[in-house]
Amino acid sequence: MNLKSKRTDPSSAPKRRSTDLFGPDKSLGYLIRDVHRAFVRELVRALERHEVSGAQWAALRVLWEEEGLSQVQLAERMRTEKAALTAVLNALERKRYIVRSRDKHDRRKINLHLTRAGHRLKTVLLPISIQVHDRATSGMTAADRVNARKLLQRILANLTNVEVER
């Protein structure tokens, strides 16, 4: 039997990645998760004295930018489930930061609107989030922050098939 050895071009072989790059202390996914958790933890601590939870903060942030959304639209903007927002919106309504009203064009839809207190809360809470952001990015240049944002937006776009703002 005549066996010839096949030689393959080494550049065509799939490249193996070292598993060292994917341990919990080196994995980009783990690092992003840890950074997110640290951001949320610090923000929630800072918001506690104003009796606003992290989830309430996230909903308010969207509504400050785009008022009159339905619960479904708000959930989409927040990348969360509609059902998960029910308790958050109930709490914001109890605190008189939002009101629900029927859509003028589609009576089946309920739109969310900020009250005066909800609008005023922005001037109190937004500086708190800026302080947390500034703490998190201390020691970074403006160019570092821009580059980090672009890289994270690219990762998000890669994983969600959604182009993100540039």
- Per-residue pLDDT tens for 14-43? 565 556 666 667 789 999 999 999 999 999
**Amino acid identity of 48?**
E
Distance between CA atoms of residues 62 and 149, nearest Å: 19
CATH code of the domain occupying 27-160: 1.10.10.10
| Boundaries of every domain in the chain | 27-160
Indicate the pTM of the whole model.
Answer: 0.76
Binned at pLDDT 50, 70 and 90, residue 13 comes out as low
Binned at pLDDT 50, 70 and 90, residue 163 comes out as low
CA dist 73 to 59, 85, 125, Å?
Answer: 11, 11, 23
Give the pLDDT of residue 3: 45
